[in-house]
Amino acid sequence: MREIVPPISAIVRNDQAAIQEQYQRNVVPSYGRFPLAFSHGCGSEIWDVGGRRYLDFATGIAVCCLGHANAEITQALAEQSQKLMHVSNLYYTQPGGQLAEEIVKRIGPGKVFFCNSGAEADEGLYKVARKFGHDEGRFEILTAFNSFHGRTLAGISATGQEKVKKGFEPLVPGFRHIPYNDLEAAKAAISPATAAIFIEGIQGESGVTPATVEYLLGLRKLCDEKKLLLLMDAVQCGHFRTGRYQSFQRILEGIPEAANFLPDGISMAKALGGGFPIGAFWVRQPYADLLGAGTHGTTFGGNALGCAVALKIISVIERDGLIENIRAIGDRLKGALTTLMHSYPQIIKEVRGLGLMIGLEFQPRIPALAGSDKATSLQVINRLHEAGLLTVPSGMQTVRLLPAYNLKQNEADEGFSIIQNVVSKLAS
């Protein structure tokens, strides 16, 4: 289907400085924004208010999984909004049940709760864990250092990074952090109060670090032995991003012992709505009914509009073979970047990731960047912006690529050559 490029409106003449100034006067300054204001996009291309085109490997932080202004998403939004957008969770709608079924089908026996964001999906899993351990006085959830679980109070308590907690103490009790990919540390950390272990399949906000096979299988065994829930935050790495529905399915591919691997709960959001805000968690049987009537809720969660959009996205991904596209383009891009690393080992330290979630870790002391005290990742990203490519920082040293699932090979090549140019200039 052809994507529609909206005409450039008169607002384009409203320059970026005026927009920025309006934010400064009226918007809480909790974000360090890049000095870019966008007006419209089409697929993996996006235009700023001055009319400059960029290739988008940021996709609103792993959200716009079918690119911008996707005609079928627009159509699903229009059609559903002409019928019903929202009725609340006092009632049933057809898209809600259908979307839950599509998610259950792709993970395993269990049930789904719908909400509006990643942090809220994670919050639901904390409540599942609390309810699970409650009668035995267990409430503690172990999470990993360098994890990210959102910005609510429980989210920053769960997140294993000091910078998100600072100034907001006292934190929500019951969270303790363990080193990621370290099974022995997880074993040693379990206390009589522990109810769950909660990890990302690929840590997204501190450098793009996938879990190892041994870690996932070891945690499953450990949780079974100690009667703990194994919970996974798939807000960023889930929903097809790695070229399987869930990142653990990709990580564990071809491992015979992993054939029956399933966590007990999975949170998701970001790509689920492709830009429409929707989150969800899946919880496995026999825990799927732990949150009974009246124990959890949210006004907007699972509304007909969001669910209709999410259903359309799943059907397009499967109809258009986008899972294969994610794997093919992602693997080629990662391969090309790895070759680039071998050409410039003094600039690129490591290339990590799976599918279309790729992290480029830069060396700590690059002479060309020594003049600024800004993080290496931000300095590289600014240079990529100047060259016409959007990417996302992941910690101080890593640049993250999170393109749309329908990225075309020529677009991947264009993005790569922009990165190659920036890297070669850093080396000269």
Ligand X SMILES: *Cc1c(COP(=O)(O)O)cnc(C)c1O
Nearer to ligand X, 236 or 325 (CB): 236
Q: Which is nearer to ligand X, 194 or 203 (CB)?
A: 203
**Of residues 310 and 347, the one with the C-beta less far from ligand X:** 310
Residue 151's CB is within 10 A of a number of other CB atoms, namely 14
For 68, the token pair is 């911008």
Quick one: 122 or 264, whose CB is closer to ligand X?
122
Q: How many CA atoms lie less than 13 Å away from 127 in the CB half-sphere?
A: 19
Look at residue 232 and give its three-state secondary structure: strand
Residues within the interface to ligand X (CB under 6 A): 117-119, 122, 148-150, 200, 204-205, 233, 235-236, 269-270
The whole-angstrom separation of Cα 159 and Cα 191 is 19
Query: Residue of minimal CB distance from ligand X?
Result: 118
Q: Which residue has the tokens 């790695």?
A: 242
Question: How open is the CA angle 326-332-336, to the nearest 5 degrees?
Answer: 140
Complex with ligand X: residue 155 or 336, whichever CB lies closer: 155
Q: Which CB sits closer to ligand X, 158 or 305?
A: 158
299 is written with which tokens?
């006004």
Token digits for 45? 């291309």
CB of 154 to ligand X, least distance (A): 11
> Shortest gap between Cβ of 270 and ligand X (angstroms)?
6
Smallest gap from residue 56 Cβ to ligand X (A): 17
Q: Which is nearer to ligand X, 138 or 241 (by Cβ)? A: 241
Q: What is the nearest approach in angstroms of ligand X to the Cβ of residue 152?
A: 7
Shorter beta-carbon distance to ligand X: residue 149 or 383: 149
Closest CA to 387 of 58, 44, 43, 53: 53
Take residue 6 and report the two structure tokens written for it.
Answer: 């909206």
Minimum distance of ligand X from residue 404's CB (angstroms): 17
- Nearest-approach distance from CB 200 to ligand X, in angstroms: 5
Residues 74, 419 contacting (CB under 8 angstroms): no
Q: Shortest approach of ligand X to residue 376 CB, angstroms?
A: 21
394: part of which helix (H) or strand (E)?
strand 392-394
To ligand X, the closest distance from the beta carbon of 121 in angstroms equals 8
**Residue among 1, 16, 7, 59 nearest 415 (CA):** 59
**CA-to-CA dists, residue 18 to 13, 14, 296, angstroms:** 10, 7, 43
DSSP string for 245-287 = SSHHHHHTTT-GGGTT---SEEEE-GGGGBTB--EEEEEETTS
